[in-house]
Every structure is written in structure tokens, then in C-alpha cells.
């Protein structure tokens, strides 16, 4: 039935060791891949969705907030920090501009921003 195997004991034992080594390598690779998949699944479960809202900060002393964005907005600048929902609402109602692209005022249900402080210019 297995005519292609060697007839002497020494070569049969060598083949057995060789296959055992390969079986160990295969088992180690399977274990590593299973561990990686388990880590990736754990990472997917623990991954934060990111901040819900961010405020873009200005340049200069105090770095005043200049614009509120929904988290992940492509138009948000590099100077930004995450803010909680209530703080984003407070900033919007106090006169900080809402991004025209992601419209955080709509997402935060701040419907009327005209009630905020009026910006006036000095008489000339």
C-alpha cells in the first residue's frame, strides 16, 4: 500500500522526525494566527468611536475656541480638542461658530443660534 516509503528503519525514523518538526511549526503558526485574530476582535470591541464633538482652537494667547465640529469632520483643523456634549452646546450658544460642513448645531439640536451674542462693529 505504501510502497513509496523507504524500507529501512533509519530513514523511516528520519521522515517521522521531519514530519513531527513540520507539524510543530504548523501548530505554532495556527496558534499565532488564532491569537492575532483574538486580539483584533478584542480591539474591535474596545475601540472607541472617537470624540463625538471637537472644538477647533485659535492661535495666540489662551487659544480661544473658533469653531465646533462633529468628531471626525474632515474640515476640522489641526488645533482641536474633544469636548463633551454639554460644553459643545454651551460654546455654540455663546457665539462660537458651527462648522458649515458637519453642522454640529443640528446634531446637538441647537436650533436657533441667532439668540446668541450679537457681533457688532465699532462705529467709524
**Domain-wise residue ranges, the chain:** 7-47, 53-115
pLDDT at 2: 60
Question: CA–CA separation, 99 vs 72, rounded Å?
Answer: 12
> In which band, very low, low, confident or very high, does the pLDDT at 118 lie, cut at 50, 70 and 90?
very low
pTM of the full structure: 0.52
Alpha carbon dihedral 7, 13, 15, 21, in 10-degree steps, equals: 170
The grid coordinates listed for 123 are 462705529
User: Residue 17, SS3?
Assistant: helix
Q: Is the pLDDT of residue 41 over 50?
A: yes
Q: What percentage of residues in the chain have a pLDDT greater than 70?
A: 84
Question: CA–CA separation, 56 vs 73, rounded Å?
Answer: 11
Amino acid at each position: 500500500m505504501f510502497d513509496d516509503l523507504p524500507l529501512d528503519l533509519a530513514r523511516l525514523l528520519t521522515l517521522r522526525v521531519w514530519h513531527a518538526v513540520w507539524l510543530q511549526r504548523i501548530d505554532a503558526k495556527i496558534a499565532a494566527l488564532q491569537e492575532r485574530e483574538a486580539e483584533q476582535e478584542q480591539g474591535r470591541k474596545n475601540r472607541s468611536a472617537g470624540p463625538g464633538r471637537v472644538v477647533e482652537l485659535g492661535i495666540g494667547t489662551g487659544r480661544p475656541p473658533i469653531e465646533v465640529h462633529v468628531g471626525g469632520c474632515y474640515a476640522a483643523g489641526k488645533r482641536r480638542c474633544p469636548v463633551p456634549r454639554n460644553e459643545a452646546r454651551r460654546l455654540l450658544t455663546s457665539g462660537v461658530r458651527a462648522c458649515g460642513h458637519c453642522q454640529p448645531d443640528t446634531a446637538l439640536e441647537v436650533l436657533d443660534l441667532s439668540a446668541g451674542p450679537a457681533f457688532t462693529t465699532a462705529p467709524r
